[in-house]
């Protein structure tokens, strides 16, 4: 088991965000977490990444509490792709991607000779090779998001955690982004957990969907099994039709 989460609770000041979350995530699973704004999705992801300390309950990664990992050891196992990345200094795209190798560095910042194969593969996978020498602060929001993914892939993690990873991408690159994730999961055995509002993309590519509302898990299973008009109303407050795709899977079409 990759993650074991038990009776997890969390609050910002006096405002509860998560209430009694229990969740197991197995080796090489591709899980998407869906829900409306304020459901607690991003907070759960941050707790899994060790960016927040649990109020009550536990988060274990490979049998060990996340909080007990040394920062470098955790970074070698888990990479995070946030919704937004702010880098003020004029690093090139290649330098940003090389930052993904920092968990493996000891005495100096970069080691080009040994890092090059990881950098090249990450740039190729994310189709950011043409941006290699451009300044990160001068590329578009969608390009930045693909570069941040490349940096995470250069990290060669066992687990990839993503928070709304396609929010700035056009349709073509949204599809390509999820195809990359699917390939990493299928071919490399990478465990992937992504928070998203895009139910249709999630249902198309992920093997498992966890739906949250009010800080709790309200459904968990294969997307085609749990995607129902009733669930969509409970989680998002919308009326919707569920249409079967000819090639398999379901598409959500909001009606009200």
Q: Helix, strand, coil shares of the chain as percentages rounded to 5?
A: 40, 30, 30
Q: What's the confidence (pLDDT) of residue 20?
A: 94
pTM: 0.93
Q: What's the confidence (pLDDT) of residue 45?
A: 97
Is 128 in contact with 107 (CB distance < 8 Å)? no
Q: What's the confidence (pLDDT) of residue 253?
A: 87
Is 194 in contact with 203 (CB distance < 8 Å)? no
| pLDDT digit string, tens, across residues 129-155 | 999 999 999 999 889 999 999 999 999
Nearest to 132 by CA among 92, 175, 162: 92
What is d(CA 177, CA 110) in angstroms, rounded to the nearest whole number?
A: 27
Residue 38: partners with Cβ closer than 8 Å, 6 or more residues away: none
Q: How confident is the model at residue 106 (pLDDT cuts 50, 70, 90)?
A: low
Which residue do the tokens 């006096």 mark?
A: 14
Residue 109 has pLDDT above 70, yes or no: no
Q: What's the confidence (pLDDT) of residue 108?
A: 58
Give me the residue spans of the domains in the chain.
3-254
- Concatenate the DSSP letters of all residues of 159-221 into one string: EEEEESTTTT--HHHHHHHHHHHHHHHHHH--EEEEE-S-HHHHHHH-SEEEEEETTEEEEEE
What is d(CA 130, CA 24) in angstroms, rounded to the nearest whole number?
A: 39
Q: How confident is the model at residue 111 (pLDDT cuts 50, 70, 90)?
A: low
Q: Which helix (H) or strand (E) is 202 found in, with range?
A: helix 199-205
Q: 29: helix, coil or strand? A: coil
- Concatenate the DSSP letters of all residues of 120-166 into one string: HHHHHHTT-GGGTTSBGGGS-HHHHHHHHHHHHHHT--SEEEEESTT
Write the CATH number of the domain with boundaries 3-254.
3.40.50.300
Q: How confident is the model at residue 50 (pLDDT cuts 50, 70, 90)?
A: very high
When pLDDT is averaged across residues 1-20 and rounded to a whole number, the result is 93
Residue 248 has pLDDT above 90, yes or no: no
Q: What's the confidence (pLDDT) of residue 249?
A: 75
Nearest to 76 by CA among 91, 95, 61, 86: 61
Q: What's the confidence (pLDDT) of residue 104?
A: 83
Q: 191: helix, coil or strand? A: strand
Q: What's the confidence (pLDDT) of residue 167?
A: 86
């Amino acid at each position: 088991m990759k993650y074991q989460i038990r009776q997890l609770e969390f609050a910002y000041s006096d405002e509860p965000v998560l209430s009694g979350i229990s969740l197991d995530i197995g080796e090489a699973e591709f899980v998407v977490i869906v829900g409306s704004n304020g459901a607690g999705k991003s907070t759960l992801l941050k707790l899994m990444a060790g960016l927040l300390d649990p109020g009550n309950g536990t988060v274990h990664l490979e049998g060990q509490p996340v909080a007990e990992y040394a920062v470098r050891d955790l970074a070698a196992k888990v990479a995070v792709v946030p919704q937004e990345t702010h880098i003020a200094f004029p690093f090139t795209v290649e330098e940003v991607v090389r930052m993904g190798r920092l968990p493996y560095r000891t005495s100096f910042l970069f080691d080009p000779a040994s890092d090059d194969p990881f950098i090249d593969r990450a740039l190729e996978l994310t189709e950011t090779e043409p941006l290699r020498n451009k300044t990160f602060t001068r590329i578009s929001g969608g390009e930045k998001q693909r570069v941040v993914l490349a940096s995470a892939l250069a990290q060669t993690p066992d687990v990839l955690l993503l928070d709304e990873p396609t929010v700035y991408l056009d349709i073509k690159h949204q599809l390509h982004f999820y195809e990359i994730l699917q390939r990493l999961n299928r071919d490399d055995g990478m465990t992937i957990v992504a928070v998203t509002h895009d139910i249709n993309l999630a249902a198309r590519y992920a093997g498992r969907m966890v739906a949250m509302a009010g800080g709790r898990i309200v459904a968990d299973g294969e997307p085609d099994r749990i995607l129902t008009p009733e669930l969509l109303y409970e989680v998002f407050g919308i009326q919707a039709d569920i249409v079967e795709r000819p090639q398999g899977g379901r598409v959500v079409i909001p009606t009200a």
